[in-house]
Amino acid sequence: MGEGSGGGKVPELVLQIRTADIKGAAPVFQEQAKNLSKALTTLISTLDGLGKPWGEDKQGKEFEDVYAPVQKKIESATGILVLGLTSIHEALVDLSDGHVDNDKLIEGMFTKVKVPHQDSGDSAGER
């Protein structure tokens, strides 16, 4: 085997995952998804209810020329962003739950198992 630059030492693991941090971040994404969804609903219902509130003047027509052709794309993209934020929230919750389960599994792997004493002459007691 080749010699690495570490001199045979195992590097320390720098990544630390804290379940509390993950659980704390998850609701932020859910809250922002709700806020963005509310903003989108307000935008759509207000503009649909008002017709063309930007007016018929020069600025209004310039705005309409830019906005009208992409209006549905903007609404669709914003809806996708809402779904994305919600998905991140759900993924963080799942990640947190999985991390806790994994920690318990690993802890179980490294916990001494007590074996009842048998009359076979084995006096080990613990393994």
Q: Is residue 114 part of a domain?
A: no
Q: Is residue 88 part of a domain?
A: yes
Q: What is the CATH number of the domain that holds 57?
A: 1.10.287
Q: Is residue 121 part of a domain?
A: no
Q: Is residue 126 part of a domain?
A: no
Would the pTM count as exceeding 0.85? no
pLDDT at 31: 96
User: First vs last Cα of the chain: how many Å apart?
Assistant: 33
Is residue 99 pLDDT above 90, yes or no? no
Q: Is residue 115 part of a domain?
A: no
Higher pLDDT, 29 or 8: 29
Phi and psi, residue 103, nearest 5°: -60, -45
**Mean pLDDT over each residue of the chain, to the nearest integer:** 80
The domain in which residue 85 lies consists of 21-104
Q: Is residue 5 part of a domain?
A: no
pLDDT at 24: 87
Q: How many domains does the chain have?
A: 1
